[in-house]
Amino acid sequence: MMFLRQTLAFALLSAVAAASMAVDRGNPVVAGHPAEASSKPQATELETVEVRARGDKGYHADAAQMDTFGSFGLAPLQDTPAAVTVITRAQIDDRQPRTLSELARSDAALGDNYAPVGYYQNIAIRGFPLDLATGYRLNDMGLTGEQPIALEDKQRVEILKGLGGLEAGVVAPGGLVNYVSKRPADVRSITLGTDSHGSRYVAADVGGWLSPSFGVRVNAAHDEMHSYVQHADGRRSFFSLAADWKLNADATLQLDTDYQTSGQRSVSGYQLLGGTTLPPHPSRTRMLGFEPWQQPVGIDASNTTLRLDYRLGADWSAQLAASHSHSVIDDNVAFAYGCFYSPACADGSPGYAFAPNGDYDIYDFRSPDDTRQNDELRAVLHGSFHTGDLGHEVTAGVNAFHRRLDQRAYVYDYVGTANIDDVDPPYFAPSPNQPGPSMRTLSSWQRSVFVLDRVHLNPQWQILAGGRLVRLHELAYDAGTGERLRDTRLLKAMPQAAVMWEPTSALTAYVSYSENLALGNEAPYWASNGGITLAPLLARQAEAGLKYAWTPAFGLQAALYRIRQPYQFAQPDSSEAGFTFVQHGEEVHSGLELNAAGQVGDDLRLTASVNLIQARVRDTGTPSYERHQVVNVPKLRGNVYMDYRLPLAANLHVLAGWRYASSNPATPDRLTRVPAYHVFDVGLRHVTRWQQHQLTWRLNIDNVFDHFYWRDTGSSLGDSYLFPGAPRLARLSLGMDF
C-alpha cells in the first residue's frame, strides 16, 4: 500500500509540475512551446493538491522549468556548461533570510566580503568579490548592488559561479547573482513574523489572472528590525508589482517593478590591532564609535524590468528587454577607523588599523543623496537550424548598459578617539561642516554584441562557441571640484567555448574556457597613488564539471575550476606613504565544488555543498606575500541544510543546518588568521489548516549554540575589516493562505 500511495503521489505530482511550469512561465510563449487550452484546468488542479508539504521538489530546481542565464541560450540547467546554484522559493521560505549575507549561506562557494549590519552588503564567489555595479541582476538585467535586495517577490535566486563576461560584459570574475521575480498566479497569502529581539514583520502576496491573457501579482512587506547590535534598530518597507500580458499566441509582455525604503544605523567593523593582532575581547552586540547624533543610513531604491518575448516561428524567437535600477543612499556613520590621531600609534603602528591597545578614531561621515543608477537595453534572437548532420542553436544579441553616479562632496572629519573596551564611547561633537552640492562623478557606457552557437554533433556531443565584443567608455570626476580624473576607453573581445558529453539524459560532463574583463580597483587613500583607479584586468577561467540527475527531484553537481587574474595590492616600498597600489604578479584561484540539492525519498529534502579552494598569489615582487592564501578566502567551506518530515507526524518537519569555514587569512602575509568555525542551525515547520485556510508555522534558531566566530575579513576601498558572526537568533513566522 505504501508503494502504491507513493506511485500515485508521484504520478499526480508529475501532472501538477507540468501545470505549474505552464502557469509560472506566464504561458509557454516564453519557453517557445505552443499554447494549450488544457493549462487552465491543470492550474486549477494545482490549487486543490497539497504539494507544498509533501510532493514538491522543494530545494531542487527542475531543469525543465528554468531558463538559465541568457548567455547559454534557452538550454535547461542540466545542459548548461557552468556551475549554477539555484536557491529555490522553498529554501527562502524555510530559512527566512533577511540579508544578502544570510542568503549567501546557501552555497559554500559564497562568502561575505564587507557585509556590515545596517548597510548594503557584498559577497565573494570563488574568492573574488562581486562588482556592485554589474555583479547583481534582476530578471537577467542590470541591478545596482548598492541596496538591500528584498526577497518577498523573488521566485528563486540563481548564482552563476565563475566568469560571466558573456552574460554581463565587464564584470568581476567571481560570478553573478540573478534575482528572478515571481510571476502572476492565483495566490493570496499573508505572513507574520517576529524574532527573539522583538522585531515585527508582515508580508502579503496577492495575485491572479484578471482575464485569460492578463495577470498580476503584488507583494508588500514591512519590517521593524530590532538588531542584536545596540543602537542598530531599523525599518524597511517594500512593494512590488508583476504583470504578464499575453498579447497574442506568439507574444508575451512581462513587467516587474518594485520600490523599497529602509533606514538603519550602520555598524562599523573591527580592524586588526597594530595591523597584526586580532581583538582579544570582541563584542558582537556593541556598536563601535556610536555617537547619539549618528543618523540611520537611509536607502531608497526602485527597480523595473520590462521584457517582450515574441515567437517568430517553430524554431525562432526574439526577446526585447529594458531595465532601470535606481538607488539613493543617505550615508550617515560615526565611523570607527584607524588610529592616526591616537597617541598609542605614535610608535609607528599603521594608522589604517586600530592601535595596539585597542584605540580607534571616530569620524563623522556624511554623504547624502549618493545616487547610483543602472539602465540597460537588450535585444536577443534565438533560433535553431541544421547544416548537414549538425544541429545549431544560435543566440545572438546587442546590449547597451549605462551606469551613472551622482554624489556630493562628503564630510569625513575626525571627531575623537575611543577604545574597543569602552561600553559606550565618549561623547564627541559632530563636525560643523556640511556636504557640498551634487555632481556627476561617473558615467560608464558598455555597448556590446554577443553570439553563441550550440552545435549538436550527435545525441551525445555538443560544442558551444561564442563571445562578446564590448566597447567600454568611462568618465570619472572629482565630487568636490568636478575635475576629470579618468577617461577609460577600450574595445575587448571576450571568448567562451565548451564541449559537452551526455552519455545518458541524466549525466552531463563538460569542459569550458572563458575570458573576462573587469575594472581595476581604486587605490586606498593611504597609498602613494591613493584615489587612482588602476587599469582594467583580464581574467581567464578553465573549468570541468559533471551534472547528474539522480532522480527527477534530486541532482548532483561537481566542478573543477582555475581562475587567473593580475593581483592588485598595496605593495610595500620606499615611497613616503610606504605603499603603492599596483597590479603585479598573478592571483590564481583553483578549486573543487560539490553540490547536491533536492528531494530524497518522501520525507527528506536537502541542500549540501563543499568548496575546496587554493587562492594563491605569485610573482608579486614581495616575498612575504608569495604563495600565500588570499585574504578572506578560507581553504574549505561546507554547508548542509535539510527538511525532514517526521514519520509519525505528517505535518511536522524538522529543519537543521550546519556551516563550516576553515581558518581564514586576515593579512596577505598569512601571519594573522581568524579561527575555523562550525555553526549549527535548527528549526521546525508545521503545516495545518484552520477554517479551510492553510497555516504554515516556521521556527528557526540560527547559531543554536551561540558560538562566536569571525564571518568576514573582507575589505572596502583597500581597507580591511573584521565582522563577527551573529549570536543566537530565533525567528518565528506564521503564513496563511486564503
pLDDT digits (tens, 9 = 90+) for 557-609: 999 999 999 999 999 999 988 899 999 999 999 999 999 999 998 899 999 99
Categorize the per-residue pLDDT at 89 as very low, low, confident or very high, splitting at 50, 70 and 90: very high
Closest CA to 114 of 132, 138, 135: 132
Rounded to whole angstroms, the Cα distance separating 92 from 98 reads 9
Orientation of helix 2-24 relative to helix 39-48, angle to 10°: 130
For 195-241, what is each residue's pLDDT tens digit? 999 999 999 999 999 999 999 999 999 999 999 999 999 999 999 99
Q: Is it the case that residue 5 has pLDDT exceeding 50?
A: no
Domain of 494: which CATH number?
Answer: 2.40.170.20
Looking at residues 344-349, what average pLDDT do you find? 89
How many residues are listed for the chain in this entry?
Answer: 738
Q: Is it the case that residue 31 has pLDDT exceeding 50?
A: no
Q: Is it the case that residue 41 has pLDDT exceeding 80?
A: no
**What are the cell numbers at 132?**
556592485
Q: What residues does 653 pair with on adjacent strands?
A: 645, 685
Rounded to whole angstroms, the Cα distance separating 464 from 462 reads 7
Residue 29 inside a domain? The answer is no
Residue 275 inside a domain? The answer is yes
* Share above pLDDT 90 across residues of the chain, in percent, rounded to a whole number: 81
Closest CA to 365 of 442, 418, 297: 297
| pLDDT (0 to 100) of residue 482 | 85
Categorize the per-residue pLDDT at 346 as very low, low, confident or very high, splitting at 50, 70 and 90: confident
Rounded to whole angstroms, the Cα distance separating 595 from 608 reads 6
| pLDDT (0 to 100) of residue 331 | 95
Looking at residues 683-697, what average pLDDT do you find? 93
Question: Could you tell me which residue, 73 or 277, shows the higher pLDDT?
Answer: 277
Residue 272 inside a domain? The answer is yes
| pLDDT (0 to 100) of residue 34 | 34
Closest CA to 242 of 259, 217, 260: 217
Looking at residues 179-192, what average pLDDT do you find? 97
Which residues constitute the domain of residue 445?
A: 50-737
- Supply φ then ψ for residue 315, to 5 degrees: -120, 0
Residue 6 inside a domain? The answer is no
For 518-544, what is each residue's pLDDT tens digit? 989 888 889 999 888 888 999 999 999
Looking at residues 649-669, what average pLDDT do you find? 94
Looking at residues 235-263, what average pLDDT do you find? 97
Q: Is it the case that residue 54 has pLDDT exceeding 90?
A: no
Residue 24 inside a domain? The answer is no
**What are the cell numbers at 63?**
531543469
**Average pLDDT, rounded, for the chain:** 90
For 372-393, what is each residue's pLDDT tens digit? 999 999 999 999 999 999 999 9
Residue 271 inside a domain? The answer is yes
For 269, half-sphere exposure in the C-beta direction (CA atoms, 13 angstrom radius) is: 27
Q: Is it the case that residue 17 has pLDDT exceeding 60?
A: no
Looking at residues 438-442, what average pLDDT do you find? 94
Q: Is it the case that residue 458 has pLDDT exceeding 80?
A: yes
Do the beta carbons of residue 319 and residue 310 sit within 8 Å?
A: yes
Strand order in the sheet with 175-181: 83-88, 154-161, 175-181, 136-138, 141-142
Looking at residues 305-320, what average pLDDT do you find? 95
| pLDDT (0 to 100) of residue 480 | 81
Q: Is it the case that residue 39 has pLDDT exceeding 80?
A: no
Q: Is it the case that residue 550 has pLDDT exceeding 70?
A: yes
Closest CA to 22 of 246, 211, 205, 218: 246
Residue 41 inside a domain? The answer is no
Categorize the per-residue pLDDT at 70 as very low, low, confident or very high, splitting at 50, 70 and 90: low
HEC string for 389-453: CEEEEEEEEEEEEEEEEEEECCEEEEEEEEECCCCCCCCCCCCCCCCCCEEEEEEEEEEEEEEEE
Do the beta carbons of residue 287 and residue 231 sit within 8 Å?
A: yes
| pLDDT (0 to 100) of residue 479 | 84
**What are the cell numbers at 90?**
522553498
Residue 525 inside a domain? The answer is yes
Q: Is it the case that residue 547 has pLDDT exceeding 70?
A: yes
Q: Is it the case that residue 404 has pLDDT exceeding 50?
A: yes
Task: For the beta carbon of residue 673, count every other beta carbon within 10 angstroms.
Answer: 18
- Structural domain count, the chain: 1
